[in-house]
Structure 1
Amino acid sequence: MRLLARYNNFESRHPFLAICLTSAFGMGAGNLVCQVLMSNLKSKQIDVLLFLTYTIFGFMVSGPFLKFWWDILEYKIFKNPKEFLRPVKMMLLDQILSPYILNGSFLFVLALYGGKSYSEAYEEVKQKVLSVCLESYKVWPLVMILNFYVIPANNRVLFTNAISVLWTTYFTYMVSETVS
């Protein structure tokens, strides 16, 4: 609990930076775990640039997006904190939009990383985003219900990034042919 208290102290002083750092850590760690597991299976070296791509995406895109999106859900769309079904409504709207935005944009980045042109990357996103999002629905709706019902607003990105390590490990494996 001391670590959580230290995080909360840092987050209260630097909320945006804390969210960016935890998102960078979640995505970077998940990618690294997958690369280590896959390297043991395939005798492959760790791709440091791929790890950095995941980490930077978490820092610059995923963390900021989630912070602003969840603030919009919490304070602009679903304003009444006493409404019992509010977290369910927040989860439904979140899961209708955010998986396609985040997974689609990251698939695009990974395709570019893999040497594809912008038009090829766009076609790859169109081809893969639905299947990736359907896989994400096996994990994220339950996580989001917990997130919106139980987790305090200032710890939501931290909580989801703890889960994100596992999701990103699976995501990296799922899309590994995109960057090979």
Structure 2
Amino acid sequence: MGSPDYISLSEAHALGYGHPNTLRKHINSGELPARRTRRSFEVSRADLDAWSAPVPVSGSPDDLLAAAKRVAAAFPPRTPELEDAAKVLGRSTLGAYLRVTLPLMAPGVGAGALLVMLTVIKELPATLMLRPTGFDTLATRLWTYTSNESFAAAAPFAVLLVLLACIPTGMMVHRLLKEVR
């Protein structure tokens, strides 16, 4: 029996910190401090809170990688036994992939797509460098008006940018709340 400050990996999973196998992987890599018990590990609530703190996404590759790792931590690792079971039950390789693997991948892929969408919507430097001449995006319009101090003209673009960012954020929060319940 652990102390009140420490919880088992199963309890951490029940509280929404990630799948026990994923937590174990981060413990073994040294990213998440833990103490060994007879059969498993115990982690402190403070360490879990620090490890799972929100990652600010500024658009840099390191930030996106960190955010993707946090999203992936919520899902159990893929096991080939599930596909093998589907094949034993008569599915073809493609059928097993479509009926087993793809549904397991869908939440992670969807969350990753939403994170990329958020980053792309607010990305200005890449847009300024790569856009064709005379082509304006939401971010460039907002930047143009605010750099000219035309805040009234920039307001609709800013509101639209915030509303567009609320859609994927709301979808992710809704999914997380549904999983916690």
More helix by share: 1
| TM-score strictly above 0.5 | no
**TM-score scaled by length of structure 2:** 0.28
Answer 1 or 2: which has greater strand percent. 2
Larger Rg: 2
Q: Which protein has greater RCO, CA pairs closer than 8 Å, 6+ apart?
A: 1
